[in-house]
């Protein structure tokens, strides 16, 4: 098992030295933490731009994203370019010493593209073409779209290569488009040929003897469009893989154009957290900076923990290095059915939570609230009511205080616990025709994550292919789909001294989504010391009890499991193991054959942490207080509604206020402290 020193060393090893390629360090050097947001000057007359720049400087803004939705403004007609307005915007930013994250505006083609080339418009699974008049109206596999987009990106790169304001390239926006047109079907067939080589191999991989689905010609294969019944799950799994890869291919094409012209300028695109259509593990290594758009729901009492999980995922995608919070909201959004505003102070709390979990940049959508269009009622750094407002005053105050955290930029967030999450598993687990549609990947992930967050235990999100040797505890909430290679790696981790926790309905299918025969979870049976024969979804609460006699409730799911060397730690009231623990080699493996309630998952986390010798950064955290260490700074964030006292292990200075704390710290609701040990005299 990894010691605390080993965990810190592993984090440092992940971080240093910085790669020779550009990255977050390129942006933060000389600037400290980044602060800003989307800026859409094309929506405003030019006399407003000077006011914007003046207010940005007063707010401490040092990075703005420009041009995300400006294709029609730059190219009002096919082949015609208007860069003059954008020249003036970048020149203004350069004069104000505000860096520009310049976007390729290819996420939202102008109406002329769909009008002249309707084949570039996407088609849904029922065969209906989706039209222009909104955004994202393109087919990722359309050669015409690709040609027109790359022509624009080529000219954009040529125009602004070397411009002093250009600090970052922002490719597209929130990739996730799916299309079922004939061009997409053609591209899907090409992808399948590369994957399988011949039809015999494909037919075997898809199990096409079921329901007479055998393919005798490549031309017979189409996208999984709307059908009378359940679509082949193996075909669906490959379709999802293809859709993610097709979008990635377009990102790469734009990125390569930009990199050829500006090799020293980092490149990113904005992810969307736990977004199902795109496999971010396969994307993250293709960009220089991992960035994310995240919009917590002010009405959700668990929003702080969900945000922490998302931030930890971004840090995992960045392989431990800093990442950029590209979009968040200052207050209410416009796209939920009901959009309450954020309470005063929550803007700051959520922003600093991201810093605590590895973000070196904090940006918002958007700088100035739009007067027209679909996002008229989305909040902004500068609201409709103008700068003399509570909200803008809060933005300015937060921008100023971020300068006090400049030393945090580039620092790691060491973690001794890893949690495995996988997009292909997510896709496969949630196909139709399974024992219960109430079992889903993200709920299980969050359920297992929550007790670690509550205990102040940092967690790295990792893919199944990750090197697990530096972790003391690895949690697998669900791996319904698992390869032989990954199963062997997990088993070897335990035998080498690691502690493993595996959730229910894991190890069930292979990479083709074919069920593994025999007792489940077949590839993990030996390391878990247990196996099952029947899945038993539950209609109501499930009564269970620990071996100590304490009862707890579970829900949704049970399994008929037998111990094969494992110790039964909890059993169902009706009989049979519910939670098992097995010593394997030098390590310990836990298996959970149900979905315990939160308190029981907390008890499970406590026991697994004890096995691994891992503790939170502070003992006995008050309810609602988040504690996370980044580098030498301990962040404490009070998400609760009560003022609390937090015991401290040593004297410290709050970098945000300059005040000293010794022995104990009082935190009011929504307060944040960034505590550093005083420098020796």
- Show which residues are catalytic: 174, 327
What is the token pair recorded at 133? Answer: 């008049």
From the list 468, 426, 508, the residue with the least C-alpha distance to 589 is 468
* Beta-sheet pairing, 633-638 with 625-630: antiparallel
Q: Is 105 exposed, middle or buried (0-12, 13-18, 19+ CB in 10 A)?
A: buried
The rounded distance, in Å, linking the Cα atoms of 555 and 540 is 6
Q: Hey, how many other C-beta atoms are within 10 angstroms of the C-beta on 8?
A: 16
Going by the DSSP 8-state scheme, the letter that residue 186 receives in this structure is H
The rounded distance, in Å, linking the Cα atoms of 525 and 580 is 12
Q: Say if CB 139 and CB 184 are below 8 A apart.
A: yes
The rounded distance, in Å, linking the Cα atoms of 86 and 77 is 17
Backbone angles phi, psi at 265, to 5 degrees: -100, 120
The rounded distance, in Å, linking the Cα atoms of 567 and 584 is 12
The rounded distance, in Å, linking the Cα atoms of 355 and 175 is 25
Residue 255 CA: distances (Å) to CA of 67, 143, 315: 16, 17, 22
Q: Which residue in the block uniquely carries the two structure tokens 């005053």?
A: 393
Residue 129 CA: distances (Å) to CA of 137, 179, 180, 264: 10, 9, 9, 40
Q: Which residue in the block uniquely carries the two structure tokens 């939920």?
A: 336
Cis omega (within 30 of 0) for bond into 259: no
Going by the DSSP 8-state scheme, the letter that residue 343 receives in this structure is P
The rounded distance, in Å, linking the Cα atoms of 454 and 674 is 18
Q: Hey, how many other C-beta atoms are within 10 angstroms of the C-beta on 82?
A: 14
Strands, sheet with 625-630, edge to edge from the N-terminal-most edge strand: 625-630, 633-638, 672-676, 652-654, 660-661
Q: Is 338 exposed, middle or buried (0-12, 13-18, 19+ CB in 10 A)?
A: exposed
Which residues, including other chains, have CB under 8 Å from residue 22's CB and lie 6 or more apart?
264, 265, 266, 288
Q: Hey, how many other C-beta atoms are within 10 angstroms of the C-beta on 620?
A: 9
**At CA 598, angle to CA 440 and CA 354, rounded to 5?**
75
The rounded distance, in Å, linking the Cα atoms of 654 and 638 is 15
What is the token pair recorded at 557? Answer: 């799911």
The rounded distance, in Å, linking the Cα atoms of 296 and 306 is 8
The rounded distance, in Å, linking the Cα atoms of 444 and 478 is 7
From the list 494, 447, 446, 389, the residue with the least C-alpha distance to 598 is 447
From the list 128, 132, 140, 75, the residue with the least C-alpha distance to 108 is 132
**At CA 495, angle to CA 491 and CA 501, rounded to 5?**
55
The rounded distance, in Å, linking the Cα atoms of 453 and 175 is 29
């Amino acid at each position: 098992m990894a010691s605390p020193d080993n965990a810190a060393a592993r984090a440092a090893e992940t971080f240093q030295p910085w790669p020779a390629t550009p990255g977050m360090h390129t942006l933060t050097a000389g600037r400290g933490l980044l602060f800003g947001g989307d800026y859409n000057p094309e929506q405003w007359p030019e006399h407003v731009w000077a006011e914007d720049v003046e207010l940005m400087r007063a707010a401490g803004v040092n990075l703005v994203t420009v041009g995300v939705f400006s294709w029609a403004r730059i190219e009002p007609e096919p082949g015609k370019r208007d860069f003059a307005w954008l020249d003036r915007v970048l020149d203004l930013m350069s004069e104000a010493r505000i860096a520009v994250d310049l976007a390729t505006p290819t996420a939202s083609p102008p109406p002329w593209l769909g009008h002249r080339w309707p084949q570039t418009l996407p088609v849904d699974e029922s065969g209906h073409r989706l039209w222009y008049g909104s955004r994202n109206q393109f087919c990722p596999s359309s050669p015409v779209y690709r040609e027109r987009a790359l022509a624009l990106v080529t000219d954009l790169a040529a125009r602004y290569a070397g411009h002093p304001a250009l600090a970052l390239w922002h490719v597209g926006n929130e990739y996730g488009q799916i299309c079922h047109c004939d061009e997409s079907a053609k591209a899907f067939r090409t992808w399948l040929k590369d994957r399988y080589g011949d039809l015999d191999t494909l037919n075997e991989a898809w199990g096409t003897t079921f329901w007479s689905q055998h393919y005798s010609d490549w031309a017979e294969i189409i996208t999984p469009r709307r059908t009378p019944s359940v679509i082949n799950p193996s075909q669906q799994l490959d379709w999802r893989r293809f859709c993610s890869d097709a979008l990635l291919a377009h990102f790469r094409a734009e990125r390569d154009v930009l990199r050829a012209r500006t090799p020293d300028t980092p490149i990113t695109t904005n992810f969307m957290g736990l977004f199902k259509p795109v496999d971010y593990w396969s994307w993250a290594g293709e960009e220089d900076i991992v960035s994310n758009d995240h919009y917590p729901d002010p009405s959700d009492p668990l929003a702080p923990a969900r945000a922490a999980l998302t931030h930890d995922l971004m840090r995992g995608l960045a392989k431990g290095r800093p990442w950029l919070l590209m979009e968040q909201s200052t207050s209410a959004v416009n796209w939920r059915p009901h959009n309450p505003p954020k309470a005063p102070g929550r803007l700051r709390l959520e922003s600093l939570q991201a810093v605590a979990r590895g973000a070196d940049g904090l940006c918002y959508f958007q700088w100035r609230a739009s007067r027209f269009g679909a996002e008229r009622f989305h909040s902004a750094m500068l609201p409709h009511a103008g700068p003399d407002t509570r909200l803008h005053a809060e933005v300015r105050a937060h921008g100023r205080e971020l300068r006090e955290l400049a030393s945090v930029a580039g620092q790691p967030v060491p973690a001794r616990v890893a949690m495995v999450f996988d997009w292909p598993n997510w896709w496969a687990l949630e196909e139709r025709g399974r024992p219960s549609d109430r079992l889903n990947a993200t709920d299980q992930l969050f359920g297992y994550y929550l007790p670690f967050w509550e205990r102040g235990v940092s967690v790295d999100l990792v893919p199944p292919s990750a090197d697990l040797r530096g972790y003391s505890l690895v949690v697998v909430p669900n791996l319904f789909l698992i390869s032989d290679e990954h199963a062997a790696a997990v088993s070897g981790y335990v035998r080498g001294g690691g502690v493993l926790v595996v959730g229910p309905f894991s190890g069930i299918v292979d990479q083709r989504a074919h069920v593994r025969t025999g007792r489940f979870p077949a590839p993990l049976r030996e390391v878990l010391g247990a196996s099952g024969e029947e899945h038993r979804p539950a209609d109501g609460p499930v009564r269970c009890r620990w071996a100590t006699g304490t009862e707890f409730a579970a829900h949704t799911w049970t399994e008929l499991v037998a111990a094969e060397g494992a110790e039964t730690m909890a059993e169902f009231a009706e009989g049979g193991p519910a939670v098992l623990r097995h010593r394997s080699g030098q390590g310990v493996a836990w298996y959970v054959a149900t979905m315990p309630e939160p308190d029981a998952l907390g008890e499970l986390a406590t026991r697994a942490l004890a096995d691994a010798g891992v503790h939170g950064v502070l003992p006995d955290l008050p309810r609602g207080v988040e504690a996370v260490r980044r580098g030498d700074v301990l962040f404490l964030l009070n998400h609760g509604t009560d003022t609390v006292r937090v015991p401290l292990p040593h004297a410290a200075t709050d970098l945000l206020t300059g005040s000293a704390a010794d022995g104990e710290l009082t935190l009011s609701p929504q307060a944040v402290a960034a505590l550093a040990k005083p420098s020796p005299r």
